[in-house]
Amino acid sequence: MDLSTSSVITLKINGEKYTLPVDHRTTLLDALRERLDLTGSKKGCDQGQCGACTVLLDGRRAVACLQLAVAAEGREITTVEGLADGERLHPVQQAFLDLDGYQCGYCTPGQICSAIGMIQEHAAGWPSAVTADVRPEAEPAPLTAEEIRERMSGNLCRCGAYVSIVEAVARAAGSETQTDTAHAPGTQTDTVPAARVSPAVKAKEAVA
């Protein structure tokens, strides 16, 4: 391999380190799928428009098809394969499973990774394009269906499972999730920060 156009890099993925030579043009997505056999992140549009390849970089969501592998060196990379704690699913994964937040499942890994990043952004008080009060001192906006749809708008579902995706994200983000499932076997409750969910979304969950 020509060293002028390639490098040997070490990527930290899901808590493990992988050292591999890569062409400088190799995207993180191709390194994950083609070089490391981590195929959970899907290649959809390969142009950063569909969100199927979303991963977490240092806890922030990013589309892996637009991220160069060499630029990800030294960062904490989390893919869908690294979310569960052994046999215990991440709360977002469990919510997608319980509420049928998928159909064909192709976009689901990216949806789940994006949802985790989005929930953390909301809990930290980041506003969205539909947030009414964007003052720094304002409380986080209630996580209404409108907020969820706007914040998740970078992830496309060609099957159209959006209604269930919104419900799954709301359930995973809601503080009642940590309370109601604290003693339920097979659930993980300490990885998603509490967020305020609107009464309308809670009412929909009650009849789901």
- Measured CA distances, 192 to 18, 170, 175, 198 (Å): 27, 12, 9, 17
Contact call for residues 96 and 168 (beta carbons, < 8 A): yes
Per-residue pLDDT reduced to its tens digit, 133-159? 999 888 888 999 999 999 999 999 999
Q: What is the pLDDT of residue 111?
A: 98
Q: What is the pLDDT of residue 192?
A: 40
Per-residue pLDDT reduced to its tens digit, 183-200? 333 333 333 444 444 444
Q: Which of 35-44, 49-58, 181-190, 196-205 has the lowest mean pLDDT?
A: 181-190
Mean pLDDT of 102-122: 97
Mean pLDDT of 24-48: 97
Residues 6+ apart with CB under 8 A from 151: 118, 121, 122, 128
Q: What is the mean pLDDT of the chain?
A: 87
- Measured CA distances, 56 to 61, 77, 125, 129 (Å): 4, 6, 19, 22
Q: What is the pLDDT of residue 1?
A: 55
Compute the distance between CA of residue 120 and CA of residue 116 in angstroms, rounded to an integer.
6
Per-residue pLDDT reduced to its tens digit, 7-24? 999 999 999 999 999 999
* Sole residue written with tokens 């506003």: 127
Compute the distance between CA of residue 136 and CA of residue 124 in angstroms, rounded to an integer.
11
Q: Which of 38-47, 85-94, 110-119, 131-140 has the lowest mean pLDDT?
A: 131-140
Characterize 32-42 residue by residue with b for buried, 16 or more Cβ atoms within 10 angstroms of its Cβ, and e for exposed.
bbeebebebbb
Sheet containing 16-23: order of strands: 16-23, 6-13, 76-78, 54-57, 60-63
CB-side neighbour CA atoms (13 Å) of 135? 4
What is the pTM assigned to this prediction? Answer: 0.82
Compute the distance between CA of residue 90 and CA of residue 190 in angstroms, rounded to an integer.
9
Q: What is the pLDDT of residue 4?
A: 85
Contact call for residues 200 and 100 (beta carbons, < 8 A): no
* Percent of the chain clearing pLDDT 70 (strictly above): 82
Compute the distance between CA of residue 27 and CA of residue 167 in angstroms, rounded to an integer.
32
